[in-house]
Chains A and B, each alone.
Chain A
């Protein structure tokens, strides 16, 4: 037993298995969060039927997708149609392997971690293009073409934004970037006299375009292209595309957090007296408080089974909050908590974008990419290089 635990591959394999198990669940619940938050923006209730306040909706959706008939269009390129969603999903999952979830929680700390993430996102595009082409449908092909053009354009702006972040950190390793921010004492976004906010903004815009999300969701614009590149997909294969999309949303948020928002560091990593209120108090109040607030909803429900599910949820949240008060556990999970908390905030911002901005026209999209995002990204690299030299001189 000890030989297994002390094996160098034990932790990576364990984390990989945990990730593969967790990502579909997280993706499903991200879709529920998205629907609920959008519903809130639009003064609706969102899904309410399955479970209390729609809490079990993702599970119902997943079961529905898995038992649905799997339709393959008769004139499609069957082999490519079959494996294109797998390309997207595998690439999205591979990108998770270099994300630094906490000081000790990462599958691998490669010295080119950031490049691995961007290379995997570019491989993921192939899944979209091939899926759209192999469906042998005009809507799918148009969606795939739009997607390819959009991703190639915004990848340049994304690379410039990442370059600024890498220059501030001085390394490409994801853990190294977080540790550099710990050494500098400030998050990446506040480095270089606060000028890093510009590449951060460029990154958020380009990353939203890279993940094909509103207001840049031209490849699957439902009012023009039915569903874009996955029009012909149904059942499990559609679920794979869906999984890849939400996994990518998580990955781009995680990269932004790592590069610009301090990764697993707590806010004000240099101020030591804030360690107890921020590492113990904040998670306990957040999770325990949301557990308590959930309890107040129980009485409004009529169905006793739904009441039980909601009580179970509230108790789980409260226990999670209480766990953060145990010093031995806190040391291990505080970093993970901050990482996931920041990622959730950024994902919320992305949903916010979707609820706020109308979809761009295609020429507007290209104008933003080539005439605004790329020049601003280039200028940010030059200015950040100068500021970095001044601040270190």
Chain B
């Protein structure tokens, strides 16, 4: 248990420091690397919760897919101008409002404790017993209980794919 706690703090530090460096570094590539560090930390937290499937998918999708494309675009675009520009914009009112809302939410959850979270039925019971069937459990719940949201998300992705092809092609 001690090793779990130590690992938790290491991963949490990765997530938070990565997130902070992402918005404070001037160089876009440095920001992207910090974001990768943060995402890897989240993957580690998934692994600590015995969610191996989410761990692997987090790395494959975010680090291996999305961040590689980010870096690809960053390298193609000349960002010298952006690096010299003012880093922080002036929309203080919106920023303070957003921080206040998120802070209030977190304070509320801390105040209420565990009772504030709705834990799905079988969610806690299944984890311990089915350590071997993590992937199967995700598939089962995705394709039975959460089929409608899953399909809506897939339609959304399809729309995005078709839209990007339409925008990229000059003549269809």
The chain A residues found within 8 Å of chain B, CB to CB, are 77, 80, 110-112, 115-116, 118-123, 125-126, 129-130, 133-134, 141, 144-145, 148-149, 151-152, 155, 172
- Cα A148 to Cα B72 in complex, Å, equals 7
- Cα A2 to Cα B59 in complex, Å, equals 38
A261 to chain B, nearest CB (A): 23
Stretch at the interface among B50-58, B85-93, B98-106, B160-168: B50-58
Contacts A111-B132, A130-B33, A145-B75 aside, 9 further interface pairs with beta carbons under 8 A come to A111-B134, A119-B59, A120-B59, A121-B64, A122-B65, A126-B36, A130-B29, A145-B72, A148-B68
Nearest B residue to A128 via CB reads B68
Q: Which residues of chain B have C-beta atoms less than 8 A from A172's C-beta?
A: 135
Chain B 57-111 residues near chain A, CB threshold 8 A: 57, 59-60, 63-65, 67-69, 71-72, 75-76
Q: Which residues of chain A have C-beta atoms less than 8 A from B65's C-beta?
A: 122, 152, 155
Q: List 5 A-B contacts (CB under 8 A).
A: A112-B55, A119-B60, A125-B68, A129-B68, A152-B69
Contact with A along B125-157 (1 / 0, CB 8 A): 000000111110000000000000000000000
A129→B135 contact, CB < 8 A? no
- Cα A80 to Cα B60 in complex, Å, equals 22
SS of B interface (majority): helix
B77 to chain A, nearest CB (A): 12
B64→A125 contact, CB < 8 A? yes
- Cα A152 to Cα B76 in complex, Å, equals 16
B64→A155 contact, CB < 8 A? yes
Instruction: Given A80-B29, A119-B63, A122-B63, check contact A112 B53 (CB 8 Å).
Output: yes
A123→B72 contact, CB < 8 A? no
Nearest A residue to B55 via CB reads A112
A133→B64 contact, CB < 8 A? no
Instruction: Given A112-B52, A115-B56, A119-B60, check contact A152 B135 (CB 8 Å).
Output: no
